[in-house]
Structures are given as structure tokens and as C-alpha cells.
Amino acid sequence: MIKTLPEAIAYIFIFAFAAAVGSFLNVCICRIPIGKSIISPGSRCPSCACPILFYDNIPVVSYILLLGRCRRCRERISFEYPFVEVLTGFMALFLYGRFGLTPIVFVYFLLIASLIVITFIDLSHRIIPDVISLPGIAAGIILSGLLSYPAMYPGVIDSRAGILAGGGILLIISVFYSLLTGHAGMGGGDVKLLAMVGAFLGWRGVFFTLFAGSLAGAAMGLILMLFWGKKSKYAVPFGPFLSFGAAAYTFYGREVINWYISGVWRI
């Protein structure tokens, strides 16, 4: 709960900054899958390709003022744009509320931002771009050697173990699935994504992410079956569920694991 004016100002500033980052994430989501530069040209209307002026590119606010339409052609702009901006803003607020203004917040914000981009690209294009996951693996292991937060961020050994566990588990599952069924198993993108998660969150984060992601995926599959039955042919990509599991571990996974272990030992 916000108790003072300076604290309220801090929350507003953090949300505004993160929403602006979310605007850039939208550019990544739109351009990376089709191989376009995320730097140039500037933001354009997806319908008429008209450059978007700076006062029409204010995160969330401009979308509301323009009623979700382009100023020039009046075509509708996808609700995904403000949604990503708001989602990024709230994720930053949750991180700040959870860990305070510490270096670890910026590291986790980098991870969460990457997971947001991966989620929306995988939902739309069924791919997880290497241009995100591979640099993410490198960033996770480099940061593990620079930061010293034993209770919150893995060391170099834990980070490397996380990469091996993350990449290895899904690779083994994929190979066995292919051998047993004769069909392709999980894509290489999922393998690299979980390896990136391991680089940032360590091997414990990998197992938590895989468990939570599988649980969420199973729940979604059950919901689709209940609403559409056997007619449902929609194949839900696994990347968004892995991203959900990784985000859940970032915020509360360590506490859940400690609670579970303490409960098992009591039994």
C-alpha cells in the first residue's frame, strides 16, 4: 500500500518508464518475427504505414485519446499494443514492490521484458526467436558473475547448472517423444527458452518453471476441451506457459519451494 506522496510519485514514474519500455517491446513483437530492424524506421501505423507522431505515441494515453484508431486512416489499432504497455508497467511495479529499488530489480525486469516479447511472438507466430533467447542465456550467466544476491540470484555455478538443466530436460523429452510417437517433439525454441530461464534463475527455477508451466498448460487445455470439445484443433504454444512459470518463480518461487521443503521435512 502506498503511504506517502514521494512513494506515490515513485510508483507513477516506474509505471510510466516501464510502459514506455512496453511500447518498445511492441516494436520488437511486430518486427522481429519478420526480420525487420527494431531501430529504424520509427513507429508506423500497421494499416497505412504512416509515421506516428510523438504526441500520438504516448503509451496507453494516446491509444485512449485516439479511441484505438490511427489519426490518419482511422483504421483500428490492435488492443495488444496498450495491453503490452500496461502489462510491462504493472510487472515493473510488482518487481519494485517485491525487491525495492535494487540492482536485482533491473535484472529481473530484463528477464520479464524478454518473456513478454517471447510470449506474444509465440502466440502469434509459433516461434521463439533465437535473437532473444541466445543473448538472454549469455546475459543471465554474465550477470550471475557480477551480482551478489545469494538469496535472490544464482551464482555462476547455479546459473550454468540451470542452463544445462533447462536445455537438457526439454531436449531429452523432445527426443523421447519423437522416438515414441514418430512426430516432432517440442521445438528448439522452447529448449533455448528454458535454458535462458536457467541462466537467470538457476536449476531450481528451471524445475519450478517447467512444473508451473505444464500445470498452466494442462489447465488451459482442459478449458479448451470443455468449451470446444473434440472439435478444438487449436494448438497452444508452450512458450507462454514457460514464461508464466518463470515469472511466477521470479516473484514467489523461492518461498513456495522453501514452504514445500519445510512441509516435507515435517512429515
Residues 121, 129: contact at Cβ < 8 Å? Answer: yes
**Backbone dihedral angles phi then psi of residue 51, each to the nearest 5 degrees:** -60, 140
CB atoms under 10 Å from CB of 153, counted, come to 21
Checking if the pLDDT of 218 tops 80, the result is yes
Residues 6+ apart with CB under 8 A from 200: 107, 108, 111, 136, 139, 140, 143, 154, 159, 162, 246
Global pTM value: 0.90
Instruction: Give me the amino acid identity at 242.
Output: L
pLDDT in tens, 13-47: 999 999 999 999 999 999 999 999 998 888 888 88
Helices (H), the chain: 5-31, 61-65, 80-99, 103-125, 130-146, 156-181, 188-228, 239-248, 254-266
Quote the pLDDT of residue 92. Answer: 97
Mean pLDDT of 180-201: 82
Average pLDDT over residues 193-202: 94
Q: What is the pLDDT of residue 17?
A: 96
Average pLDDT over residues 126-137: 95
Per-residue burial over 208-242, b if 16 or more Cβ lie within 10 Å, else e, is: bbbebbeebbeeeeeeeeeeeeeeeeeeebbbbbb
What's the alpha-carbon Rg for the chain, to the nearest Å? Answer: 20
